[in-house]
Amino acid sequence: MTSAAEPLFQPLRLLRLTLRSRIVMSPMTRQFSPGGVPGQNVADYYRRRAEAGVGLIVAEGTGIDHPSAIGSDAPGENNIPVLHGEAALAGWKKVVDDVHAAGGIIFPQLWHMGVLRVPGTGPSPDAPSSRPSGLCGVRVGAHSLRPGVVERLLPPTEPMTDSEIADVIAGYARSAANARAVGFDGIAIHGAHGYLIDTFFWEETNKRTDRWGGDRVGRARFGAEVVKAVRAAVGPDMPIMLRYSQWKQQDYSARLARTPEELEMLLGPLVDAGVDVFDASTRLFWKPAFEGSDMTLAGWTKKVSGKPSVAVGGVGLSKDLQTGFAGDMVSVNNLDQAITRIERGEFDLLAVGRSLLVDPEWALKAREGKPFKPFSVEPFSYLH
């Protein structure tokens, strides 16, 4: 059957992989992995999306093998998955096998919270948090963090030393090697939203005067070294996807690049390091990125990097992530804009977050032009 949405269901080649559609499941933290170990419920959750035509699943943010990678609001609890240790790796192997059996492709998202880890929490509460310059970058009146959390993040810490930086990079590499060993198809790296890699990119949190700071090229170095280490760990044929964003949870109005030229300076070192696809995280995917053009951030990303790109934000929904939990949120079909832009080559893939939480069959319905499930926040609190 052909439908207006058919361009979203054209395959895309990514190194050794062929994605069967342009729909990506956006990474979404679920905190349903007690002790960091994903269970059969997590495997079923991803399998359902693979069965219904999602071309690429980017699994939820997953703590890298480093003591300060993850934390939580509740001391002692860790329900965020990790990618090391026998039990977690066995759990992930089952997730990957089930997704593959449904014809799907899945990447883990390697995550280090950096400055946003609440000190004293997570699997290693005593580990000092990792911050490029000791600063968390919260801008009063412009952040999305809860009051109780902000106070715990505000006190400055010691900046990371060279050996701490090397340890973190090695943690990314070990986790990537583990991901390959359990059968993941590629690696997604979380370089967005004010977490560790992003705070090296961002001038408000990176005041370093050594090789890890300075201009955009210097601030891109940490991310680039992570990418190189991941590449060395997984080999040349496994795609590496990097997510970055202008906005930060610490400051929604933050910008890493004010012009396409500045964006090129930032992304160039990451391309040279081995990124195969960029995920340009925005709140509304169709918004112009820079003045004077209607091109999106995903569009500019592809143009200045020469790499395929992913657009994200507000697909199937009337509101963005930061305003979209209000009662007047509704499901809409706003795929036209994405289809036009994919057809003209502006970007290649479309990531879908909340719509895919609400409706596991969202991609199938998009293809068949069927109505989507009405939006509800209920599925946010359990895996379905």
Ligand X SMILES: Cc1cc2nc3c(=O)[nH]c(=O)nc-3n(C[C@H](O)[C@H](O)[C@H](O)COP(=O)(O)O)c2cc1C
DSSP per-residue letters across 83-152: S-SHHHHHHHHHHHHHHHHTT--EEEEEE--GGGSPTT-SSSTTSPPP-SSS-----TTS----HHHHHH
User: Which positions from 104 to 143 touch ligand X by CB under 6 A, shown as an x/- string?
Assistant: -----x----------------------------------
Cα-atom radius of gyration of the chain, to the nearest Å?
19
Q: Which of 104, 191, 308, 353 binds ligand X (CB under 6 A)?
A: 353
Does position 26 interact with ligand X (CB under 6 A)? The reply is yes
User: How are beta strands 277-281 and 187-190 bridged, if at all?
Assistant: unpaired
Q: Which two tokens stand for residue 154?
A: 């505000």
Decide: helix, strand or coil at residue 228: helix
What mask, x for binding ligand X by CB under 6 A, covers residues 261 to 290? Answer: --------------------x---------
Query: Residue 250: which residues within 8 A CB-CB, separation 6 or more?
Result: 115, 116, 136, 137, 138, 139, 142, 143, 145, 194, 204, 205
Contact status: 297 vs ligand X (CB under 6 A)? no
Residue 28 interacts with ligand X (CB under 6 A): yes or no: yes
Measure Cα distances from 380 to 116, 313, 325, 355, 383 in Å: 22, 17, 11, 11, 8
Minimum Å gap between C-beta 275 and ligand X is 15
Which residues inside 29-48 make contact with ligand X, applying CB under 6 A?
Answer: 29
Of the candidates 229, 311, 309, 236, the one whose C-alpha atom is nearest the C-alpha of residue 267 is 309
With a CB cutoff of 8 Å and minimum separation 6, the contacts of 234 are 176, 177, 179, 180, 187, 240
In the complex with ligand X, which residue's Cβ is closer, 208 or 297?
A: 297
DSSP letter (8 states) at residue 161: P
Spell out, one character per residue from 158 to 197, where the chain touches ligand X: x when CB under 6 A holds, - when not: --------------------------------x-x-----
Q: Tell me: does residue 350 bind ligand X (CB under 6 A).
A: no
Residue with token string 């036009």: 340
Alpha-carbon span 229 to 174, nearest angstrom: 9
Give the total of residues touching ligand X (CB under 6 A).
22
Instruction: Output the six-digit token pair for 315.
Output: 């697909």
Q: List C-alpha distances in Å: 41 to 37, 45, 352.
A: 11, 6, 21
Q: Tokens 């305003």 map to which residue?
A: 323
By CB under 6 A, residue 60 contacts ligand X: yes
Instruction: Please identify, among the stretches 214-222, 340-348, 353-361, 362-370, the one whose residues bind ligand X according to the rule CB under 6 A.
Output: 353-361
From residue 367, alpha-carbon distances to 3, 102, 280, 316 in Å are 7, 18, 24, 13
**Binding-residue pattern over the window 228 to 247 for ligand X, x denoting contact by CB under 6 A:** ---------------x----
Interface with ligand X, residue 315, by CB under 6 A: yes
Comparison of 78 and 109: residue with beta carbon closer to ligand X: 109
17 binds ligand X (CB under 6 A): no
Q: How far is the CB of 162 from ligand X (least distance, A)?
A: 28
What is the β-pairing status of strands 12-14 and 17-19? antiparallel
Rounded Cα gap, residues 349 and 212, in angstroms: 31
Residue 309 touching ligand X (CB under 6 A):
no
| Residue 354 found at the interface with ligand X (CB under 6 A) | yes
Residues 61-90: x where in contact with ligand X by CB under 6 A, - otherwise, as a string: x-----------------------------
**Is residue 352 part of the contact set for ligand X (CB under 6 A)?**
yes
Tell me whether residue 380 or residue 382 sits nearer to ligand X (CB atom).
380
| Shortest separation between residue 26's beta carbon and ligand X, angstroms | 3
* Catalytic residue check, 244: no
Choose, by CB under 6 A, the member of 137, 186, 299, 314 that binds ligand X: 314
Query: Catalytic: which of 45, 46, 172, 195?
Result: 195
Which residues, including other chains, have CB under 8 Å from residue 44's CB and lie 6 or more apart?
Answer: 98, 383
Q: Which of 71, 269, 274, 313 binds ligand X (CB under 6 A)?
A: 313
Binding residues for ligand X (CB under 6 A) = 26-29, 60-61, 109, 190, 192, 243, 281, 312-315, 317, 321, 352-355, 380
Give the residue numbers marked as catalytic: 195
